[in-house]
Structure 1
Amino acid sequence: MGFDHRKYVAFEPVRKTDRRWPDQVIRKAPDWCAVDLRDGNQALVKPMTVAQKTRLFDLLVKVGFKEIEVGFPAASQPDFDFCRRLIEEDRIPSDVYIQVLTQARPELIARTFEAVKGAPNVVVHVYNSTSTVQREKVFRMDREGVKEIAINGARIVKSHADKDPDTNWIFQYSPESFTGTELDYAREVVDAVNDVWRPDQGQPVVINLPATVEMATPNVFADQIEWINDNVRYRDHFRISVHTHNDRGCAVAAAELAVMAGADRVEGTLMGNGERTGNMDLVTMAMNLYSQGVDPRVDLSGMAEITDVVEACTEIATHPRHPYAGELVFTAFSGSHQDAIRKCLAQYQEGDQWEIAYLPIDPRDLGRRYEEVVRINSQSGKGGVAYVLERDYNISMPRWLQIEFAREVQQTAELDGGEVDSETVHRLFGDRYLAVRPEWRLRTYDLHRTDDRVTAVIEFGEDEQRTRLEGEGLGAVEAVAAALEKRHGFQLAVENYDEFALGEGTNANALACIRIQVDGHTHSSAALAEDTTSATLQALLSAVANRVTATDSHKAEKTA
């Protein structure tokens, strides 16, 4: 058949000129219903065991979900048994509603009520498919026949609930494949169901409008929700819920726009596990609200535990770039990103409004650490390398050394072909700049100032073979540089040098970084010491040592 787009027909948008939802802003979280244990479970290659379902149920309760769909008890014995276990072991908190799904068939509804007997709070979710394609090609029924299935299901649900007044019942109806159903017909069926349940007389009702298959762009779904919101009866007396799937990759966007269009409630799963490409991702949508200063009404601060439990129960790994939850979502490898993050974090004070480049939320809010924000590979730049040394080793570098050292790190990353961890960055810095050859180790220095001149006397080298030099200059660096020039017979210019006082928790109190030029060649070094003068003079000696070593190596090559 080939790859032929002509076999597909564009979805017909809603003809609507009075849409209001584009001007709305979500200022409070919708009611959430987690369907991991039903919709999420039925999408698994290997369905969850009772132990896994129990563990995931406990997590959902801990996170704060108040409506949790626990299964399709009439469809399988494991779902029935799990439902009974939750009730008989008194695992359901008094403020949590368990939700159970059933088709609108008498024997399945009866079995469902049997499964939830004795539960304090229950949402009975009954559904039948109303879409054009299902009516015409699957059921081969007309509109009236499909509507009668919904009405009859609603009557049976009400009849069973009336026999058990000790349970707090919420009735929920879904016109399955709502997005493929004509809007006027969807309204007709919903109104008929509500005529049975009469939410206006006090019966709590949820009308769930599922994008069982995502068929159009999210704005079209929002139009559909707003149209139903404006045209159904009893609207002030029941909640509209949405249940979006991710066939087009837009389940979260569709749910958010649906809330803007008037939906009160959203169904989804943690991490978006579900049929085909998945369900609406509760973590992503809740955190999207959180990032806008809206209380999501669930606590996702223990993100590591959430991902661990979901992975253990579903046996599906969390993608490292999964929004908010992935291992790498707060990680910057790009050099410009790293530099911007480092500069913003340096200015951030606890209690400030969060305005950090490239980080929409504070990683600490999800139990993550700043250590995970900046990591180094061949794409990283000076900002990232500098940040890693500052963060983990309290080593600050001047800009000129950041640029130079970043090239060294990049070369290592390119050779290794992967990430360069913090310890490797530190080792590279030590080997390249801090290492001191024994014959160039500073032993003593003595400085004397006379008028505007400084006389410096230094000793360096090993105990049995020390070198003593004396020089004069405007400052200590210039005086020692003059002594080194005299000894080695070259012209030495100090291009850059910077001194940094180090914080607590280090053996040294000062870091000095220096770059010299000798005969057109530059050589850089750094040193740690107890005081800035010692650090600076040692850095100068080490830089000259690099020059002398390079010259000796060149001479040896020419001789050879």
Structure 2
Amino acid sequence: MTRKILVFDTTLRDGEQVPGAKLNLYEKVEIAQQLKKLGVDIIEAGFPASSQGDFDAVRAVAERVGNTSDIMITALARAVQYDIDRVYEAVKYAQNPMIHMVLGTSDIHVEKKFSKSKDQILQIGVDAVKYARTLCPQVQYSTEDASRSDFDYLWTTIEAVMKAGATMINVPDTVGYAEPEEWGHLIYRLNDRMKNVNPDVILSVHCHNDLGMATANTLAAVKNGADKVEVTINGIGERAGNAALEEVVMALKTRNQIYEATTGINTREIINTSRLVSSFMGLDVQVNKAITGDNAFAHSSGIHQDGLLKSRDAYEIVHPEDVGLEDMELVLTARSGRHAVKNALEKLGIAPQSTDDFEAIFEKFLQLADAKKEVYNHDLYVIVESYYEATDSATNESTTAFSDAFYDLQDLQVISNSTFPSASIRLTRGADVIPASAVGTGPVDALYSAIASVTKIDAKLVEYNISSVSRGKEALGKVKITLEYNGETYMSKAADTDILRASALAYINAINSIIVETLQPTIHV
């Protein structure tokens, strides 16, 4: 029988504890709205006792997102009356509020952090739960550092707070110490005992990723009886982060026959949610991150591309459409094979008539791929045209100059200062050399304004990112632009040893991608 697993998202609390990832009230509400759209069951919106700003943000989430009964809003408290009151005052505006409190159970926490006896800590926890239940019908109790706790004391605590009125028991692997087999065994034992005391109390886990096992531990817990998982978008959180929502959810969906469990998550909203969180928090997603990384559905190996084009099941266990992407991406590099290049040409409406023609075009492709790492669609047009120009010159025939439609960067100069940032560029389009200058609010804004003045494509810059690759010797620029008239979005990237040149090339690649959409001829060569 398939069980329904509740998804408790703590992106706005544990995720926000990442240094530099502070969110304002507006951003918290926006992310919470998207989490609701994603279909999470519970949102932990913050830590109200920490500041007035966080209190206000939690209250705003409760009022604006928790205004329906299909989602629960909670926030974190220590097991003290002041914290519990602050949580209740903030979440009480939700239709379905909950108070979440945490208190350590390991010897390290009890003796070194609190300097109290185990009996004293146990009584503090029981009293806190009893008080919280006078305010709110839903109370979750977290046994902090459970993975390093003595089992007998851990169980004694859980049994006592259940009898005191806790409706959810959360068992955290606070420092990522657990190993899947032992963690699964611990959850099995606790689940068995809890169901005998009160089967209505929900058993939850909260796993950290210090040893890279957060997702594995969370799934082991589900397999051994956990009713609820605590996760974050993109796996963000303290230190090495938390179990990633997208990894846990897609593992349960993809290997349902193993876990016999499902969630209420609308998986097609995963990518949208990931990008919103990444943008607001200023935290890049690791490119090879499972499910939400840029390369999660990108394939550059010729062997893989050939297999995927024959049958997507060959190398694809999760369909990109299932998580909100349009399709897999076959990245054309020097490692790409003939099958991938021919497929890319066919998508552009370019159909070589003979094997010899294709082989000549493929050879030119490899030469360009060796020079610039990644080949884009507009590059393919230029490759085909250059081949034809050489071929047709012998017969005095002419071909349409598709490459004249694309822009290339010849040179740039950027002046950065606090009063008058400006940029001058020289673009080429076919035989034309087009200079332009512009000012902006900063050097990149000035640079992009100058490019836009040449291309005259009415597009809005939605995202911009520059990051270091090749041990800091090379910069990778990424942009996402949206056409104003139809809302179509285009993403592109480019690398260069100069960060401003990488930024410019990424923007120009995006512009050229738009131009490709307007061409789409059928070329028989």
The TM-score normalised by the length of structure 1 is 0.66
Cα offset, 1:29, TM superposition:
4.7
Report the equivalent of 1:283: 246
Q: 1:161-560 residue pairs with structure 2 within 5 A?
A: 161=136, 169-197=137-165, 205-232=167-194, 233-292=196-255, 296-344=263-311, 356-370=313-327, 372-395=328-351, 405-416=361-372, 418-432=373-387, 436-440=391-395, 506-507=521-522, 511=524, 527=525
Change (3 A) 1:94 1:266: same
Quick one: which amino acid aligns to residue 174 of structure 1? S
In 2: Cα distance, 1:263 partner to 1:110 partner:
29
2:78 counterpart of 1:103: yes
Quick one: which amino acid aligns to residue 208 of structure 1? N
Quick one: which amino acid aligns to residue 385 of structure 1? V
Change (3 A) 1:187 1:437: same
Match 1:80 to one of 55, 60, 64: 55
Quick one: which amino acid aligns to residue 192 of structure 1? A
Q: Provide the aligned length of Structure 1 versus Structure 2.
A: 399
Change (3 A) 1:95 1:302: closer
In 2: Cα distance, 1:150 partner to 1:399 partner:
76
Change (3 A) 1:389 1:291: farther
Cα offset, 1:399, TM superposition:
7.2
In 2: Cα distance, 1:97 partner to 1:50 partner:
19
Structure number with bigger Rg: 1
Change (3 A) 1:367 1:228: closer
8 A contact 1:131–1:182 mirrored in 2: yes
8 A contact 1:125–1:173 mirrored in 2: yes
Report the equivalent of 1:50: 25
Cα offset, 1:130, TM superposition:
0.8
Quick one: which amino acid aligns to residue 182 of structure 1? D
Q: Percent identity?
A: 28
In 2: Cα distance, 1:119 partner to 1:306 partner:
22
8 A contact 2:218–2:229 mirrored in 1: yes
Change (3 A) 1:387 1:96: same
In 1: Cα distance, 2:370 partner to 2:329 partner:
21
Report the equivalent of 1:459: none
Quick one: which amino acid aligns to residue 161 of structure 2? V
Cα offset, 1:74, TM superposition:
2.0
- The RMSD of aligned alpha carbons is 2.6
Q: Which runs of 5+ in 2 are unaligned?
A: 399-519
In 1: Cα distance, 2:201 partner to 2:274 partner:
34
8 A contact 2:37–2:269 mirrored in 1: no
After superposition, give the CA deviation of every residue in 1:280-323 in whole Å (9 maximum; x if it has no partner): 10012112223346754111314442233112221111222222
In 1: Cα distance, 2:287 partner to 2:360 partner:
31
Cα offset, 1:239, TM superposition:
0.9
Cα offset, 1:247, TM superposition:
0.5
After superposition, give the CA deviation of every residue in 1:127-155 in whole Å (9 maximum; x if it has no partner): 21111111222222222122112111112
After superposition, give the CA deviation of every residue in 1:477-513 in whole Å (9 maximum; x if it has no partner): xxxxxxxxxxxxxxxxxxxxxxxxxxxx8556xx5xx
Quick one: which amino acid aligns to residue 231 of structure 1? R
Q: Which runs of 5+ in 1 are unaligned?
A: 1-25, 162-168, 200-204, 346-355, 444-504, 512-526, 528-560
The TM-score normalised by the length of structure 2 is 0.70
Cα offset, 1:274, TM superposition:
0.3
Change (3 A) 1:439 1:144: closer
8 A contact 1:341–1:357 mirrored in 2: yes
Match 2:106 to one of 115, 131, 137: 131
